[in-house]
Amino acid sequence: MKKILGFLALFPLATGHAQLSKSQFDTLFELCLPAESESGWLEIGWEIDLWKARQRAAKEGKPIFLWEMDGHPLGCT
């Protein structure tokens, strides 16, 4: 588990607003991004245009798999 040691001493939330050092920023920024282990679902190769998917499926002779959600499945859902 990633962690940032001693961070709060320099960073009182909502009040005080101490600056982040470069290393603190880099570490916390990285922590908030998706880890590689969380990103396997993107390796499938999703289209985001249904019509383009239709055209590809027709050309390649494959069926279409559609992941349809309220909120984009590759975005905020």
**Dist CA 31 CA 72 (whole Å):** 23
Q: For residue 23, what are its two tokens?
A: 């290393």
The binding track of 52-71 with respect to other proteins, each residue x by CB under 8 A or -, is xxxxxxxxxxxxxxxxxxxx
Query: How many chain residues interact with other proteins (CB under 8 A)?
Result: 63
Q: For residue 19, what are its two tokens?
A: 């600056």
Matching residue, tokens 């390796």 = 43
24 and 4 in contact (C-beta within 8 Å)? Answer: yes
- 23 touching other proteins, by CB under 8 A: no
- 36 touching other proteins, by CB under 8 A: no
Q: For residue 1, what are its two tokens?
A: 């588990």
| Least distance (Å) between residue 36 CB and other proteins | 11
Positions that interact with other proteins (CB under 8 A): 1-9, 11, 13-14, 17, 19-20, 25, 28-29, 31-35, 37-38, 40-77
